[in-house]
Amino acid sequence: IIGGTPGTVLYLTGYAAFRDSISSAVLNRQHGGEYAAMSSGEENVTKPSLSQGQEFMIHFASGMLAEALACIIYVPVDVVKERMQVQRLSNLSIQGASQNYHGSWDALQKIIKTEGTRGIYKGYAATLASFGPFSALYFMFYERCKLWSTEYLYRQSQETDTQNNERSAKRVE
């Protein structure tokens, strides 16, 4: 709970923030800074849209950046967890070995004291190299599936409306 929940909150809100800011920057660049004025609440203005390739890159980059941000929390939690797991296994195999860490907080403090901040972020690059592409692809596919399902539901509602109108017209006859 201590590491996972804040990490996930940072991951999901980070994705949304990166997606929105990158999208706005791309649209402003395309429209000479006029996008902010267009999106400020005028309902009858046709709002500019992104190409499919731009959307792909925005979701891909936002997913990668969200993972980089969330790893600020995830990696230290994993380092502490893994050090404690390895310590327990080695202490079981060696008779009379004393524990180095007496809980997660103690482990975190001792790692920072002996190895510095670099110690709690060991594996950050490897974690980002493995989970970064996953997050990038995850959000890219998530956004695509969200669009497909919205389009499908819209078509379904249009078909239902058409069928209801035809039934009503037959009753009137």
Model-wide pTM > 0.85: no
| The two three-digit tokens of residue 79, written as one number | 């380092």
* 29-72 pLDDT tens trace: 887 766 554 455 555 555 568 888 899 999 999 999 999 999 99
3-15 burial string, b = 16+ CB within 10 Å, else e? beeebeebbeebb
Cα distances from 29 to residues 16, 32, 54, 66, 171, in angstroms, run 20, 5, 12, 23, 54
**In the predicted model, is pLDDT for residue 122 greater than 80?**
yes
